[in-house]
Amino acid sequence: MPGHAKLYIYLVSAAGIAAMAYAFLGSPWSHDPFRFCTYLLLSLLAATLKLRVPGLTSTLSIGFVFVLLGISEFTPPETMLIACAGVLVQCLWRPKTRPTPVQVLFSVSTVATSLMLAYECSQFVRTQFHPDSVSLAMAVATCFYFAGNSLLVSGVLSLVKREPLRAIWQQCYLFTFPYYLLGGMVAGLMAALSRELGWKPPLLILPVMGLTFLFYRFYLARLDLPPVATAPAISLHTAETRRA
């Protein structure tokens, strides 16, 4: 692996550790542990449902929906725990090839960094422009979470393959953007309904993401993409990549 790619991995890992420290040490936990534990458990279960992405030795999960819900409904440490625990399960649950500790750290770090970016941007929008607009906050959170996650991973692929970042990103991640937009819509709808009906009834919307998962399974099964790269980790399509 090129030296500059290793340096990039170390920098992203350091940023992720800093983001986790900021989340866990900078904010209090909420006063609804039952609700939080329910969302955490559902997130861990969702992380075991993985789609293998043609062209990459990596996977796609629906656990990110609970991360987006956390941005709207929970404090930073709770949301960070949901995100990091989910990506750990996605990395370690029945992987095609066992990831190394560095791969797992990189995956967790990209998620942690992207989460804090999405969290802060969505909170800024709600505070400065539309404090009661859950839909707008979810749209901002979804876009920044997807962009941060995919660009961080594409960055290391670009360094390893010595190819333009834009080309790598378009080939690996652009076609999954509708999947994340739909997930953001589901999370936004659940968050909005929870303010009217309580948090339990909106859980009935989750089967929509299950149907989307099945659709993408059939869709990806029909794709015939050439391998793009072997990279240290994938976190948005999480880390089951071979060693470079």
Domain span at residue 94? 3-221
Does residue 158 lie within any of the structural domains? yes
Does residue 106 lie within any of the structural domains? yes
Per-residue model confidence as pLDDT tens digits over 13-35: 999 999 999 999 877 887 788 99
Query: Can you tell me whether residue 63 is helix, strand or coil?
Result: coil
- The CA distances from residue 38 to 32, 41, 51, 231, in Å, are 10, 5, 24, 34
Secondary element (H or E) of residue 52: strand 50-52
Confidence bin at 243 (pLDDT 50/70/90): very low
Does residue 241 lie within any of the structural domains? no
Residue 100 phi, psi (nearest 5) = -80, 165
pLDDT at residue 144 in the model: 94
Rg of the chain on CA atoms, in Å = 17
Of 167, 144, 141, nearest to 155 by C-alpha is: 167
Mean pLDDT of 184-212: 85
**Mean per-residue pLDDT over the chain, rounded:** 82
Residues in a beta bridge with 51: 60
pLDDT at residue 128 in the model: 80
The upper half-sphere exposure of residue 82, i.e. CA atoms within 13 Å in the direction of its Cβ, equals: 32
Per-residue model confidence as pLDDT tens digits over 204-228: 888 888 787 777 777 766 665 554 4
pLDDT at residue 32 in the model: 84
Rounded Cα distance between 56 and 97, Å, is: 13
Instruction: Indicate if the pLDDT at residue 54 is higher than 70.
Output: no
Confidence bin at 160 (pLDDT 50/70/90): confident
pLDDT at residue 195 in the model: 84
pLDDT at residue 171 in the model: 79
Does residue 232 lie within any of the structural domains? no
Q: Please identify which residue in the block is written with the tokens 């029945």.
A: 94
Rounded Cα distance between 232 and 11, Å, is: 13
Which residue has better confidence, 111 or 63?
111
Does residue 70 lie within any of the structural domains? yes
Question: Which CATH number fits the domain that encloses residue 145?
Answer: 1.10.1760.20
pLDDT at residue 225 in the model: 52
* Predicted structure pTM score: 0.83
Does residue 240 lie within any of the structural domains? no
CB-neighbour burial class of residue 71 (10 A; exposed 0-12, middle 13-18, buried 19+): buried
Domain count, the chain: 1
Does residue 116 lie within any of the structural domains? yes
Per-residue model confidence as pLDDT tens digits over 112-132: 999 999 999 998 888 887 667
- The CA distances from residue 143 to 126, 196, 226, in Å, are 15, 25, 27
Does residue 185 lie within any of the structural domains? yes
Of 101, 57, 61, 93, nearest to 241 by C-alpha is: 57
Q: What is the total residue count of the chain?
A: 244
Per-residue model confidence as pLDDT tens digits over 70-105: 998 899 999 999 999 999 998 888 887 888 899 999
